[in-house]
Amino acid sequence: MNSIDNSVIERVQELHTLLLRYQHSYYVTGKAEVSDLEYDRLFDELVSLENKYPDLKSPDSPTQRVGSDLSSDFPEVEHTIPVLSLDKAYSAQEVLSFIDKCIKNSSTNSLSFVLEEKIDGFSVVLYYKDGILERAVTRGNGFVGNDVTANVKTIHSVPLRLSKPETLAVRGEVFLPKEDFQRINLTLDEPYANPRNLAAGTIRRIKSSDTARVPLSMFCYEGFWENAPFSDHLEILRHLKDLGFKVDKNISCFCKTREEAERRLKEASLEGFAGSFEDISLDIKQRTSTRSSLSYEIDGLVLKINEIGQRELMGWTEHHPKWAMAYKFEAPQAQAVVESIDVQVGRTGRITPMARITATELSGSVIRNITLHNQDYVDSLELAVGDTVEISKRGDVIPAVESVIEKNSKGNTTWVMPSVCPVCSSALVKKGAHTFCSNPSCPAREKGALDFFCAKKQMDIEGLGTKTLEVLYDKNYIRRIQDIFIFDWDALVRDGVEGFGIKKTDSISKAVREAVKAPFTRVLVSLGIPEFGKKAVDLVTSAGFDSMEKLLSATEEQLSAIDGIGPVTARLIVESLHEQSMLTLIRDLESFGFNMSSDVKEESDPSVEQIFAGQSWCVTGTFEHFKPRDKAMEEIVKRGGTEVSSVSSKTTCLLAGASAGSKLQKAVSLGVRVVSEEEFLRMIDSPVEEKAVSSTDELPGLFD
Ligand code: IVH
């Protein structure tokens, strides 16, 4: 430090102060003090000084918000404050009874309440020491959470340095504004169900530079000091604001009289609604009806006793303070307890955690098992065995865990994937977001591959269903796909295997002989290469890679140049095709007489003009003339077009029927041509050369 000129040190300090002030005015108070250009100029000056003099880079520097590319994990840390939840009510009546109870148990006759919005985000505790943000920790189980400091530092509304050198803990909610959610979610391969889940996933990004790309924000609502000099909550909110935190201004204060409430708000220099106790249910009603006009999601309201002394008198349970109550807008769809979490091994070796819940009825069916997708999903829910969860049926079909309603009382922390495969005990390895069994001969993988190969959508070998294959595998008759074609099916009769009579084995061996005639595209799908299902196979073969020979010499670059095939899929195809076991399987299938090229274009009809040749089409919504809508797709494929299941900038057209939703929005935002049913009918009737409107650049994918 000694060798650095004093004028440089002073300039760095000056830039710190200026930039922190500008960040605060832009992101917290919402009023920009300087132009973007001026801000960028000062920011760049600070970056270059910090690069030149790394000793001057401090943890609260405004440049820290851009995040880093280094991987970080999220070690478990103990909270130094109890991170309690809230008791819940689902009717205004319950809230009124809560107020009555508080008034009855209080030792003052001037009790007051503050009503806040219940921000539907991700709960985080910020720990400051002498005014510097030292640590940001997730709620976890209330005692232990994950250290997510690097990621939280990228949130501009979180002050890195406070206006006073205070030591405190602050509770708040990280959230993503609705508009940003809509915009970002459209660009994701696997969209999130709501802004809360996207915010939670973003807070757990391994690289903080990824978090920095999402415009998260944070409202703070509770502060904890060692010796707090505050007598009421309004004062605390005011003080949090003065320290630099973003505090929700949509608050209400209720006292015996409206005048008294007005006085309280004024004393704290806060804006908000002032009312008497009689006004509470009306205010709840009002806020419920205006909820949708907010720029962020709230899932309820929180009513809190204002006086700190009275809060202490009321006390806490292990789970929630007795001085506050959450009013939730909607009762959970259903509640269930997670009894256990175990893992399933798929045919690619992918490990999927499954929650086993108390049998719960939801929209007409009983749910016992819910997929938890991967470790990241479990982490973003901070889910542990024993937790009470809210469950829903996404799209009215797939059961999902939406959130943890109540943590378990056993102190179980967030569930962690085992380190070895539950079937073969081999080590598990993480690739991208998922975890895989590292053993290619894991019985679960081998059974899965057999089952997939024989299933209806692939080779469609009648008689070789999941259960039959399982018996044949366990009895060591059929272990690999090749075995199906060299096995002497009569052996089952000779060995007297239960359930296999002459009739059954005859029909299986006939179906096996038939399977050899399957078209090349079906053979390719049946290999079970990840991401190389029917759609991708059709795209690749119609792009000219229509024989095994051509495919085996294709490069990643050549495949990813095909419309609809991304770089990840291209890499997976090339890598999987060249694995030794796959090459052996391909060679063996060829020797059994399987088709290794598509001589005839399977789907195109030579008598129909190929007006959509080279074009990729996506179909969405409902149609009058095409029921089901696959019929429209058939017309496209018949005319040389290819089918894609989602819209990207590479899509030529979106055929949109009635009640088209997110795909339509995405097409419009990407500048992809949208074709109505009427226009489409005209196109297939009298083919006119139609040019697709050029697409805008694809928005950056965040989680690929
Ligand atoms: S007060 C001891 N106020 O809701 C203080 N919580 O379902 C307890 N939340 O865990 C929290 N908005 O993560 C409080 N204005 C607000 C809130 C709020 C959202 C979250 C918080 C809490 C959860 C309970």
3-state SS, 608-632, equals CCCCCCCCEEEEECECCCCCCCHHH
Distance CA 478, CA 458 (A): 18
Catalytic residue among 57, 104, 118, 178: 118
Distance CA 90, CA 98 (A): 12
pLDDT given at position 398? 78
The residue type of 403 is S
Q: Check whether 352 has a pLDDT greater than 70.
A: yes
> Kindly report the CA angle at 668 between 664 and 674, in degrees rounded to 5?
65
Structural element, H or E, at residue 156? none
> Are 147 and 136 spatial neighbours (Cβ–Cβ below 8 Å)?
yes
The dihedral region occupied by 412, where left means phi > 0, alpha psi between -120 and 50, and beta the remainder, is beta
Q: Check whether 693 has a pLDDT greater than 90.
A: no
- Contacts of 439 by beta carbon, 8 Å cutoff, 6+ apart: 349, 421, 424, 426, 445
> Kindly report the CA angle at 576 between 574 and 582, in degrees rounded to 5?
125
Q: Comparing C-alpha atoms, which of 499, 501, 506, 496 is closest to residue 471?
A: 499
Q: Mapping DSSP to helix (H, G, I), strand (E, B) and coil, where does residue 53 land?
A: coil
Q: Check whether 600 has a pLDDT greater than 70.
A: no
Q: Mapping DSSP to helix (H, G, I), strand (E, B) and coil, where does residue 641 land?
A: coil
Residues with CB under 6 A from ligand 1: 84-86, 116, 118-119, 123, 171, 173, 221-222, 302, 321, 324, 326
Give the pLDDT band (50/70/90) at residue 465. Answer: very high
**Which of 170, 173, 219, 329 to mutate to test ligand 1, by most ligand atoms within 8 A of the CB atom?**
173
Expressed in angstroms and rounded, the spacing between residue 467 Cα and the centre of ligand 1 is 49
307 strand-pairing partners? 232
Q: 182-190 long-range CB contacts below 8 Å, 24 or more apart?
A: 182/665, 183/669, 183/699, 184/214, 184/702, 186/662, 186/665, 186/666, 186/669, 186/699, 187/698, 187/699, 187/700, 187/701, 187/702, 188/701, 188/702, 188/703, 188/704, 189/646, 189/701, 189/703, 189/704, 190/703
Backbone angles phi, psi at 435, to 5 degrees: -115, 140
Mean local confidence (pLDDT), 87-99: 89
pLDDT given at position 436? 94
Distance CA 220, CA 301 (A): 15
pLDDT given at position 73? 80
> Are 447 and 469 spatial neighbours (Cβ–Cβ below 8 Å)?
yes
pLDDT given at position 322? 95
Sheet containing 273-276, strands listed edge to edge, beginning at the edge strand earlier in sequence: 88-89, 324-328, 298-305, 113-119, 252-255, 273-276
The reported pTM is 0.65
pLDDT given at position 365? 80
Distance CA 126, CA 219 (A): 11
The residue type of 242 is D
Structural element, H or E, at residue 127? strand 122-129
Q: Mapping DSSP to helix (H, G, I), strand (E, B) and coil, where does residue 530 land?
A: coil
Give the pLDDT band (50/70/90) at residue 694. Answer: very low
Distance CA 553, CA 538 (A): 18
Mean local confidence (pLDDT), 633-655: 86
Q: Comparing C-alpha atoms, which of 29, 55, 26 is closest to residue 43?
A: 26
Residues of the chain with pLDDT > 70: what percent? Answer: 95
Backbone angles phi, psi at 79, to 5 degrees: -75, 145
Give the pLDDT band (50/70/90) at residue 396. Answer: low
Q: Mapping DSSP to helix (H, G, I), strand (E, B) and coil, where does residue 171 land?
A: strand
Q: Check whether 690 has a pLDDT greater than 60.
A: no
Q: Check whether 354 has a pLDDT greater than 70.
A: yes
Sheet containing 616-620, strands listed edge to edge, beginning at the edge strand earlier in sequence: 642-643, 616-620, 653-656, 673-675
Distance CA 48, CA 37 (A): 17
Q: Mapping DSSP to helix (H, G, I), strand (E, B) and coil, where does residue 275 land?
A: strand
Task: Report which protein residue has its CA nearest ligand 1's atom 13.
Answer: 123
Expressed in angstroms and rounded, the spacing between residue 303 Cα and the centre of ligand 1 is 10
**Which of 139, 143, 171 to mutate to test ligand 1, by most ligand atoms within 8 A of the CB atom?**
171
Q: Is 691 a catalytic residue?
A: no
**Helix ranges (DSSP H) in 205-352:** 208-212, 233-243, 258-267, 280-290, 308-314
Q: What share of the chain is helix, strand, coil (3-state, %, to 5)?
A: 35, 20, 40
Q: Comparing C-alpha atoms, which of 507, 512, 453 is closest to residue 480?
A: 453
**Helix ranges (DSSP H) in 191-246:** 195-203, 208-212, 233-243
Give the pLDDT band (50/70/90) at residue 394. Answer: low
**Which of 114, 115, 118, 304 to mutate to test ligand 1, by most ligand atoms within 8 A of the CB atom?**
118
Longest dimension (CA), the chain: 95
Q: Which residue has the higher pLDDT, 163 or 32?
A: 163
Q: Check whether 445 has a pLDDT greater than 90.
A: yes
Task: Report which protein residue has its CA nearest ligand 1's atom 21.
Answer: 123
Distance CA 579, CA 610 (A): 37
> Are 353 and 342 spatial neighbours (Cβ–Cβ below 8 Å)?
yes
pLDDT in tens, 502-526: 999 999 999 999 999 999 999 999 9
Give the pLDDT band (50/70/90) at residue 395. Answer: low
Expressed in angstroms and rounded, the spacing between residue 376 Cα and the centre of ligand 1 is 23
Backbone angles phi, psi at 182, to 5 degrees: -60, -45
Task: Report which protein residue has its CA nearest ligand 1's atom 16.
Answer: 118
pLDDT given at position 686? 52
Q: Which residue has the higher pLDDT, 385 or 393?
A: 385
Quick one: angle between helices 195-203 and 178-185, nearest 10?
A: 80
Of 2-6, 82-86, 203-207, 211-215, give the lowest mean pLDDT range.
2-6
Exposure string for 113-136, b = 16+ CB within 10 A, e = fewer: bbbbbbbbbbbbbbbbeebbbebb
pLDDT given at position 696? 25
CA-derived radius of gyration, the chain: 31
Expressed in angstroms and rounded, the spacing between residue 86 Cα and the centre of ligand 1 is 6
Average pLDDT of the chain is: 89
Report strand pairing: 88-89 vs 324-328: parallel
pLDDT given at position 605? 57
Q: Comparing C-alpha atoms, which of 251, 250, 253, 260 is closest to residue 274?
A: 253
pLDDT in tens, 71-92: 778 999 999 998 999 998 988 8
Give the pLDDT band (50/70/90) at residue 601. Answer: very low
The residue type of 262 is E
Mean local confidence (pLDDT), 656-662: 81
pLDDT in tens, 191-200: 788 899 999 9
Residues of the chain with pLDDT > 90: what percent? Answer: 66
pLDDT in tens, 409-433: 998 999 999 999 999 999 999 887 7
